[in-house]
Structure 1
């Protein structure tokens, strides 16, 4: 059974550029929000944690990009930018059961018995599972190599996870890692422009056995990017989450989501899967702040399937993608 859901932004710049962050109060609130979410996870006493995260071209490459992949055996973290490195404990029997039931239900996820993950999952391991002896079920969602799975399909995956886990004896926490609004200097791989974009696509295609050799320049390209956070969009999304109406985000196409909130906002698919797995119960938004030095709107939210938080009706507008400021 699912006992808790957590949505949390991630940024490796927490590890590598904390002292250089000009928005230190905002960064501290985010870090403290992660600590509070970790406390709630510990209190929930899970037997396993399903971590739904994105791929940043360190585990999957343009030679093969599934929409959804479940780790069902070995799981190795890349260890980039001070995130956890090496083998991670996997709840293998649960992962394989989930995969089998999803296939039987007509969902058809990919699976990997030797999965490499990056900070899309390992950031959550580092901060949300710190010191907790609990195995994971890693779920990787394609959010950066179009065509992407639709938001509606992601919600359906969350629904399927909920239905399957409800019948299991394990106490399970579901984490959605990624987002919120941000724009990375990453091209559409199908149509790169200029040297930097050509370099990025080359790294995504050829980096499977040598990703670290591309990392210095790739990191420099990211650090040189201009922040493009949309707090208005972020607040609307968090409003939906608080109101238990997160499925309304499915009204957006991938193209509209990117135009409003940046290509990095495609990662809210991980939050949507988590929220759907929790039955779209109302969330407790612990923290939200734009952190320009990290390029991202940074948020932490928790969904308790038993105790619903108080919802402020004054902070509950109907979601209107057309109204969200670009």
Structure 2
């Protein structure tokens, strides 16, 4: 058994808003290096922790955790559309193990996933179908949120399952770091927005285009006095990444949801995917060795953009 981990920020604005040629070249280079490492590792299975952005999951039924036995990318922004190569039987076995570990998780046999899931899978493998994958969606944008200790325990349950497989497993976490795109809140929303947040699956092309245009426009002014959203917080990002590198995972149990939202932005809770990924890696073996591959705050992409890598021991 051999296990590797990659945790990456994602941004739907990559390729749409221009942060400058030097920044694009830096990110392209770190993605290329990471993908080369994945290809050399040649995983037999990818376990992918990802968020959703009101494309597959809505308030008509908003579970904290969902494991998919089948999943299809919706193709939002520039992300790939189409089915993922989900190992259905193994996903069901993992779900049973998670439930037996006293962690509640929902099961979807037909899950729609967005760029939060597919962008990193494409960047690391070149497609949505190259390797068998088990997607696990962690609610990261739709309050209320459960405590971070529950996310850690989810990761530990997944890791103990992985430990028994005897496979080369790549664990991916995708989301965060500090960022606050223009994602609406249900509380106080006008009826049109509330109805979308509750049951907005399969929107018209015109609705999706307008929604995406708002995010693109926000990226063009993000970090300036014209934008009232919470700015990026590189210091917060650096401290969190170091916490994961140092394997101080139990400290996330003390994370205060409202404090994180105020300090780093409401969508920073996508770091839940990173917490779960590192908890899974640690639980699957005898600890890990981790490193920071990249970090840069990129306003045009509304992202504290970072990459962490780790190897299990």
TM-score normalized by structure 1?
0.86
Point out where structure 1 has 5 or more consecutive residues left out of the alignment.
Answer: 307-326
In structure 2, the partner of 1:41 is: 38
Partner of residue 254 from structure 1, selected from 241, 248, 257: 257
Partner of residue 63 from structure 1, selected from 56, 60, 65: 60
1:211, CA displacement in angstroms? 5.3
In structure 2, the partner of 1:149 is: 146
Q: Deviations over 1:31-56 (max 9, x none)?
A: 22222222222222211101110011
Kindly indicate whether the alpha-carbon contact (under 8 Å) linking 1:286 and 1:301 is maintained by their aligned counterparts in 2.
yes
1:278, CA displacement in angstroms? 1.2
1:3, CA displacement in angstroms? 0.9
Q: Deviations over 1:289-322 (max 9, x none)?
A: 111100110011111113xxxxxxxxxxxxxxxx
Q: Deviations over 1:166-196 (max 9, x none)?
A: 011222111000000011222331233xx6x
Partners in 1 of 2:266 and 2:155 — Cα distance?
22
Q: Deviations over 1:198-230 (max 9, x none)?
A: 654332224213254422222232233323111
1:90 aligns with 2:86: yes
Partners in 2 of 1:95 and 1:13 — Cα distance?
31
* Aligned residue-pair number: 298
1:286 aligns with 2:302: no
What SS does the corresponding residue of 1:16 show, helix, strand or coil?
coil
Partner of residue 127 from structure 1, selected from 120, 123, 128: 123
Partners in 1 of 2:43 and 2:243 — Cα distance?
26
What SS does the corresponding residue of 2:312 show, helix, strand or coil?
coil
1:217 aligns with 2:210: yes
Q: Deviations over 1:73-118 (max 9, x none)?
A: x211001112111111111222111001111222120011111111
Point out where structure 2 has 5 or more consecutive residues left out of the alignment.
Answer: 224-230
Partners in 2 of 1:185 and 1:250 — Cα distance?
28
Kindly indicate whether the alpha-carbon contact (under 8 Å) linking 2:77 and 2:212 is maintained by their aligned counterparts in 1.
no
Kindly indicate whether the alpha-carbon contact (under 8 Å) linking 1:70 and 1:138 is maintained by their aligned counterparts in 2.
yes
**Residue correspondence of structure 1 range 237-316 to structure 2 within 5 A:** 237-279=240-282, 281-306=288-313
Q: Deviations over 1:232-291 (max 9, x none)?
A: 111111121222224423321111110111011110000000011111634211110111
Structure 1 runs of 4+ with >4 Å offset: none
In structure 1, the partner of 2:235 is: 232
Partners in 1 of 2:215 and 2:19 — Cα distance?
17
In structure 2, the partner of 1:309 is: none
In structure 2, the partner of 1:313 is: none
CA RMSD of aligned residues (A): 1.8
Partners in 2 of 1:183 and 1:39 — Cα distance?
31
